[in-house]
């Protein structure tokens, strides 16, 4: 038991060290809370509107949308805070109050106006069809796209246009670079995209088709919460000034130049040049996994004991907890915690907090069953012997049963830790800068479709393989006394 106590103490110490940076950052945020902040929600893979770019060796979110947002913040006397997330999460973030406005080349459709308000239009683009170079002569008119596989961005105006093409088989994906990969790997035969955006992805493999969607003109506006007329008026004032100065056209030109592709090196050059991105991602992945398993361990043990009690209601609650969490996808749990609680109760967790809570409760459901199996695997005579020596049930459980159960289920706990490290990648959908998020950023910067994710896969393998070996060593150490 002393060994187990030392292990738990070590884990707690590690967690304290890992969270020191987070707490420090939170304190800094609190100290600057007196300054007015304007929180912007965007999906930064939409060059030249908004995209990631290395400037002076640092990753920054830039684009003409961001330039406009900075002008709005300046006119409001506020500090601009940028929250990067998936495009289909933007409306949820805005409705839940996580962001003050959304600017991401968003078209103010009637359907969207039912949920949020929009500013005046600030930019007009045309929708275009991109096809593989070898297929350009095959697609001359829009009729040629009927019954074809077409890629579109999920929740976008392009998806709505695709639905109007007779027989079109749509593949809706959140990230635009992933849609481009769908086209290049021949999973779709065309994609619908704004011409301003599509220009940045053209190369020898893909080109604009001659055909163009009917009524291809589309406008971009800034989304705000329903009924927030104060911020709408402020935004419209800035937009009017920028239009009168001709500044938006210049912002578009500057962003288009800035969005020029970086030289794509081999996988080793990519890994080295973007090592800081991956190192940051590793830190957050380990933090998420460590806290997820630690809290999952504590909650899981409590749930396991509740399922073994003779109190019917407690047993039923423990069983329901396990079945619900094991029977629903982690992504759904993440959406409920990150957006659902904000929409329903006004509880706004940061991406890190939402990630830790989701991983903890999801892991606890599986760990609860692991602990229950381990406890039930200890011979009942152990408990009876302890009770005959005058120990209470709680004391016997703590000093006799649980240490033996822990040894028995250590391999299963290790497997759960490894699983959590890999499954933590799902937290990237809400903007958590873990390994997968950083791999996506590198992909958007370099336009390399595969190399950034191969690097991420190698990192995950090294982490899980190293952890597996450490757990094996710990298991052998705890079992050493059994061989004496």
pLDDT digits (tens, 9 = 90+) for 391-436: 888 888 888 888 888 888 888 888 888 899 998 999 988 888 899 9
98 and 247 share one domain: yes
Q: pLDDT tens digits for 40-65?
A: 999 998 889 999 988 887 889 999 99
| Residue 334 covered by a domain | yes
Lowest mean per-residue pLDDT among 241-245, 254-258, 442-446: 442-446
| Residue 110 covered by a domain | yes
Q: What integer is the mean pLDDT of 168-181? A: 89
368 and 421 share one domain: yes
Domain that holds residue 54: 36-121+221-261
| Residue 87 covered by a domain | yes
90 within 8 A of 42, measured Cβ to Cβ:
yes
166 and 130 share one domain: yes
Look at residues 201, 230, 261 and tell me which one is the last residue of a structural domain.
261
User: Would you state the pLDDT for residue 31?
Assistant: 37
280 and 177 share one domain: no
Confidence check: pLDDT of 11 > 50: no
314 and 384 share one domain: yes
Give me the CATH number covering residue 83.
3.40.190.10
Q: pLDDT tens digits for 101-152?
A: 999 989 999 999 999 999 999 999 889 999 999 999 999 999 999 999 999 9
68 within 8 A of 84, measured Cβ to Cβ:
no
50 and 82 share one domain: yes
Q: What integer is the mean pLDDT of 166-194? A: 92
167 and 316 share one domain: no
| Residue 28 covered by a domain | no
306 and 173 share one domain: no
339 and 244 share one domain: no
| Residue 236 covered by a domain | yes
Question: pTM (2 decimals)?
Answer: 0.73
412 and 334 share one domain: yes
Which pLDDT band holds residue 481 (cuts at 50, 70, 90)? low
User: Would you state the pLDDT for residue 186?
Assistant: 94
| Residue 31 covered by a domain | no
User: Would you state the pLDDT for residue 32?
Assistant: 38
User: Would you state the pLDDT for residue 361?
Assistant: 96
211 and 239 share one domain: no
198 and 170 share one domain: yes
The total number of structural domains in the chain stands at 3
Q: What percent of the chain has pLDDT over 70?
A: 90
Q: pLDDT tens digits for 326-377?
A: 999 999 999 999 999 988 888 889 899 999 999 999 999 999 999 998 888 8
475 within 8 A of 317, measured Cβ to Cβ:
no
| Residue 252 covered by a domain | yes
């Amino acid at each position: 038991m002393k060994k187990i106590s030392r292990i738990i103490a070590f884990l707690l110490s590690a967690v304290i060290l890992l969270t020191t940076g987070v707490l420090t950052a939170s304190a800094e945020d609190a100290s600057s809370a007196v300054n007015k902040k304007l929180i912007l929600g965007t999906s930064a893979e939409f060059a030249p509107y908004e995209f990631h770019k290395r400037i002076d060796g640092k990753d920054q979110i830039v684009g003409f949308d961001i330039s406009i947002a900075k002008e709005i913040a300046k006119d409001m006397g506020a500090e601009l805070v940028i929250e990067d997330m998936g495009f289909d999460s933007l409306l949820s973030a805005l409705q839940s109050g996580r962001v003050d406005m959304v600017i991401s080349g968003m078209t103010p459709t009637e359907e969207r106006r039912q949920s949020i308000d929009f500013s005046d239009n600030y930019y007009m683009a045309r929708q275009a069809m991109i096809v593989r170079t070898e297929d350009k002569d095959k697609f001359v008119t829009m009729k040629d796209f009927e019954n074809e596989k077409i890629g579109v961005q999920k929740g976008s105006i392009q998806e709505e246009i695709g639905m109007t093409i007779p027989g079109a088989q749509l593949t809706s994906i959140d990230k635009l670079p992933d849609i481009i990969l769908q086209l290049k790997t021949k999973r779709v035969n065309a994609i619908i995209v704004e011409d301003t955006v599509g220009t940045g992805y053209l190369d020898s493999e893909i080109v604009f088709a001659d055909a163009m969607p009917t009524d291809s003109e589309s406008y971009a506006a800034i989304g705000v919460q329903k009924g927030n007329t104060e911020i709408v008026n402020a935004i419209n004032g800035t937009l009017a000034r920028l239009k009168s100065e001709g500044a938006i056209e210049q912002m578009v030109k500057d962003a288009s130049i800035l969005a020029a592709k970086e030289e794509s090196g081999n996988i080793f050059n990519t890994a080295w040049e973007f090592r800081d991105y991956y190192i940051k991602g590793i830190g957050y992945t380990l933090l998420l996994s460590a806290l997820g398993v630690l809290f999952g361990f504590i909650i899981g043990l409590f749930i396991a004991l509740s399922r073994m009690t003779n109190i019917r209601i407690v047993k039923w609650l423990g069983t329901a907890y396990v079945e619900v969490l094991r029977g629903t996808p982690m992504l759904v749990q993440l959406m409920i915690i990150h957006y659902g609680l904000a929409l329903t109760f006004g509880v706004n967790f940061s991406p890190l907090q939402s990630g830790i809570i989701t991983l903890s409760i999801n892991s606890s459901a599986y760990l609860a069953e692991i602990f229950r199996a381990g406890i039930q695997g200890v011979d009942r005579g152990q408990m009876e012997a302890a009770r005959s020596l005058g120990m209470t049930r709680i004391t016997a459980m703590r000093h006799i049963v649980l240490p033996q159960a822990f040894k028995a289920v250590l391999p299963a706990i290790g497997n759960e830790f490894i699983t959590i490290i890999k499954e933590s990648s799902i937290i990237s959908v809400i903007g958590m800068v873990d390994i997968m998020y950083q791999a996506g950023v590198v992909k958007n910067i370099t336009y390399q479709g595969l190399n950034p994710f191969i690097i991420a896969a190698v990192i995950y393998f090294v982490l899980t393989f190293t952890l597996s070996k450490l757990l094996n060593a710990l298991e052998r150490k705890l079992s050493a006394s059994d061989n004496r």
